[in-house]
Amino acid sequence: MHTLAQLKSGELLGIKKLTLSEDLTEFPLEILSLADSLEVLDLSNNQLTTLPPELVQLTKLKIIFASNNGFETLPEVLGRCDNLEMIGFKANQIKHVPANSLPAKLRWLILTENQIEQLPDSLGERPKLQKLALAGNKLTHLPLTISKLHNLELVRISANNLVDCPVQLLNLPKLAWFAFSGNPFSRSTLKVDNVPILPASSVVLHNILGQGASGVISRGSWRDKQWQFPENIAVKVFKGQVTSDGYPEDELQVCLKTGNHPNLIKSLAQVNDDGYLALIMNLIPEHFANLGLPPSLETCTRDRFPAGFTLNIKQIAKIVEQMEDVFEHLHDNQVCHGDLYAHNTMFDDEANIIFGDFGAATMYHMLTAEQQSLIRQIEQRALNYFIDDLLGICNVADRENELFFALKNKLH
């Protein structure tokens, strides 16, 4: 985090990334003094409503974030920034996205939690676009031109007002991670009751184990002994009304509809008190660790792994076999996970896996048979990317192994 005082004093000359959060109501023109170096500009958590035309002077700017501000229109000046690739304007008040506000090199567009009712046809004229996050808006349809976005890999359209399934997305050749719950076309009246409903007072929350877009997971214990459940539990308390992946209620229902599988975190009970929604689950044993790291700004949609981390081919083959079984289980239950990644997978020294994080998952039993088949194909690509990423960290000595080539052949 930087300060306006540092910027005005000239102390920040030459930096590549600037982060300013000081309740700004106007764009500080002193930022232009960084034109020779600035690549990433983060103005999130201010009170901005406009950006000046002088922004084009930042000729090296590749990434701009302005989440949690007061923008009602996506600034048109963004479309004139020749090298701009990533735009993140989450949680503003944006109603209007002008046709010329989208830069030609756009690769990543985040407009989650705004008030957008329609998008311009020009969106389909951005061939480099890989990641598109539109959850929590008021969209009633998507431009037909989206069918031309042949590099689009990740889409989030949950919690909108889309009446019809956007078929122009379903045939995109690279789409692999797709979240679409909480729309009229995907709304389900299904209420799964395969686990008991307990009051929030049944559990005591302890240390936080992890948190994501949709909620916070904590270690929990029973206030009173529950003989029918294991003693060690985890509790996911869902956030607010809408997240970057959709509605919490949809995530809860899809977790329950998925049912039990040895490589999934088992759901034990739910809490559905007024203003408090939670899922009580088995606690993952401590000897399990994250298999991967989330995508970065550079990798955009693909997972990362710690430097020097490798697996042998037998470990990879075992992990893949388990994930393929999870995949079949999910789609047998007409559930699209939407986030099939190594970073949502835990593993142990014996290559046993536990797969989780259903924040982007969607039930799709209400779709036509053809649409269901296409949804399965989309997630099959995610599984193929998962396999490809693991082969990328395979021990060099195992890369001539028959198993390696057998897994490689699955990708074609």
Per the annotation, binding residues are 236
Q: From the annotation, which residues make up the binding site for ATP?
A: 236
Local structure of 204: helix, strand or coil: strand
The dihedrals phi and psi of 236, each to the nearest 5 degrees, come to: -100, 115
- The size of the chain, in residues, is 412
Whole-number Å distance between alpha carbons of 330 and 171 = 21
To which residue do tokens 């990708």 refer? 411
Q: How far is CA 195 from CA 190, 257, 274, 329, in A?
A: 14, 10, 18, 19
The dihedrals phi and psi of 326, each to the nearest 5 degrees, come to: -60, -45
Instruction: Tell me the H-state helices in 267-368.
Output: 313-332
Torsion angle defined by CA atoms of residues 116, 120, 125 and 130, in that order, rounded to the nearest 10 degrees? 10
Whole-number Å distance between alpha carbons of 363 and 307 = 36
In 3D, which of 189, 209, 109 has the Cα closest to residue 154?
Answer: 109
Whole-number Å distance between alpha carbons of 96 and 50 = 13
- DSSP string covering 124-151, please? GG-TT--EEE--SS--S---GGGGG-TT
In 3D, which of 203, 211, 358 has the Cα closest to residue 269?
Answer: 203
**Contact status, residue 234 vs residue 283, Cβ threshold 8 Å:** yes
Query: Count of CB atoms within 10 A of residue 362's CB?
Result: 27
Whole-number Å distance between alpha carbons of 150 and 130 = 9
Query: Can you give 226-286 as a three-state secondary structure string?
Result: CCCCCCCEEEEEECCCCCCCCCHHHHHHHHHHHCCCCCECCEEEEEEECCEEEEEEECCCC
